[in-house]
């Protein structure tokens, strides 16, 4: 008899693992919809899944927050059933040869600031902002950024009175050292400003390809953290952002000007990036760097397919899981996202995290004009054989990369 979870989900094969549990592909028995199922042994020394499920419940309904389908105990395991999501931004960054364009970074920044703002509005800090913890959606939400992994999240104020937690020092580093704020390195209790400063480092990581404090060697983890801290302190904002629009330096100056319990002006931060986006002449069309790269790879693989009939429907992107493995301390590299340990043989995963050559087995989307730019938008819908779709056949709508590159 096939294993079931909550009498509603069929447990499939293992697609990922972490220090606090294993992730499996699951299927809703009634709808056949695929989900991510995370299992944690009930006897584990530091159980995390219940805490994580509570956080997701609090955040439920927010844009870019994965849905919790079910949480409970099955035999010897705590079980969390969640949405199956697309690749992480770290995966896509690697797929794009570890460099993202200004346009892509600005489109991501807008959504990422929104996600952090929403978490803060629910009285919690994330405390582990990094590329692995932002995932793209699937299907109609393929261009939507999701925030995951609330294992290190902390309540920073009383939900009713909004009384802020007290300022403290001599705190151990929590999160991932590479993206940790200056104050976090100095042992100061984290607050909203620190999540935003960490996000700034993520954006510069995408633009630059790396951060100045990466790859430092040390004998122990503590010594490595100290070296990262020293390099971060000695690297001025101007040096970090040199060669890039001044808005990024302005972002950091603003974050570092905030006092411990200040509420950040999220609208201001989004506005400086939106104004830059407009000034550069970009179109907010959701054509990311990986959209173009995947399209170009599919074009190299086979000649274009013919469009069949107009229609309407959904499409997809490479799947991953909305998973979070709780860290008790930081790491410069951080733990891998669940997607990175997924089985590359999965037919559905023809995307950024694999080099399986799956595109060579699929026909490409129809192309009415051979030339295509990053800012291409189209209004037609085509029913076609799509290299971006998990089901191969796709009706192109705004969510699908092939919709965006058809012209």
Binding-site residue numbers for ATP are 38
Token pair listed for 41 = 């042994």
Long-range contacts, stretch 26-33, CB < 8 angstroms, 24+ apart = 26/81, 28/69, 29/4
Residue 98 gets the label, from left (phi > 0), alpha (psi -120 to 50) or beta, of left
Token pair listed for 141 = 């939400």
Q: Are 312 and 382 in contact (CB under 8 A)?
A: no
Is 285 part of the annotated catalytic residue set?
no
Sequence-distant (6+) residues with CB within 8 A of 35 are 9, 25, 26, 27, 28, 69, 81, 82, 83, 84
Q: Which of 128, 132, 149, 195 is catalytic?
A: 128
Q: Which among 112, 192, 178 has a CA at the least distance from the CA of 144?
A: 112
Q: 277 - beta bridge partners?
A: none
Dihedral through CA 329, CA 332, CA 336, CA 337, nearest 10? 80
Distance CA 267, CA 196 (A): 13
The residues that are catalytic are 128
């Amino acid at each position: 008899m096939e294993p079931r979870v909550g009498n509603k989900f069929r447990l499939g094969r293992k697609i990922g693992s972490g220090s606090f549990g294993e992730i499996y592909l699951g299927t809703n028995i009634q709808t056949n919809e695929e989900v991510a199922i995370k299992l944690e042994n009930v006897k584990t020394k530091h159980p995390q899944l219940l805490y994580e499920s509570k956080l997701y419940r609090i955040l439920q309904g927010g844009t870019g927050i994965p849905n919790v389908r079910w949480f409970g105990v099955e035999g010897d395991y705590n079980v969390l059933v969640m949405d199956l999501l697309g690749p992480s931004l770290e995966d896509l960054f690697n797929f794009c040869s570890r460099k993202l364009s200004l346009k892509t970074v600005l489109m991501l920044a807008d959504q990422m600031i929104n996600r952090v703002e929403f978490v803060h509005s629910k009285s919690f800090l994330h405390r582990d902002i990094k590329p692995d913890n932002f995932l793209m959606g699937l299907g109609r939400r393929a261009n939507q950024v999701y925030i995951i992994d609330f294992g290190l999240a902390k309540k920073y104020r009383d939900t009713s009175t909004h009384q802020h937690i007290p300022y403290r020092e001599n705190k151990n580093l929590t999160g991932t050292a590479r993206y940790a704020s200056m104050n976090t390195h100095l042992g100061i209790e984290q607050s909203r400003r620190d999540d935003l400063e960490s996000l700034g480092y993520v954006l510069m990581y995408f633009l630059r390809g790396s951060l100045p404090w990466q790859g430092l060697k040390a004998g122990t983890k503590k010594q490595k953290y100290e070296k990262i801290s020293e390099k971060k302190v000695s690297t001025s904002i101007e040096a970090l952002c040199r060669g890039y629009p001044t808005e990024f330096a302005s972002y950091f100056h603003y974050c570092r000007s905030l006092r411990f319990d200040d509420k950040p002006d999220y609208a201001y931060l989004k506005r400086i990036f939106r104004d830059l986006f407009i000034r550069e002449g970009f179109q907010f069309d959701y054509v990311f760097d990986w959209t173009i790269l995947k399209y170009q790879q599919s074009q190299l693989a086979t000649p274009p397919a013919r469009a069949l009939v107009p229609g309407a429907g959904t499409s997809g992107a490479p799947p991953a899981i909305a998973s979070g493995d709780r860290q008790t301390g930081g790491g410069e590299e951080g733990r891998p996202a669940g997607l990175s340990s997924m089985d590359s043989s999965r037919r559905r995963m023809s995307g950024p995290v694999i080099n399986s050559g799956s595109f060579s087995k699929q026909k490409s989307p129809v192309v009415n004009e051979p030339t295509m730019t990053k800012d291409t938008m189209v209004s037609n819908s085509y029913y076609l054989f799509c290299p971006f779709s998990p089901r191969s056949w796709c009706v192109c709508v705004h969510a699908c990369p092939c919709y965006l590159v058809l012209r």
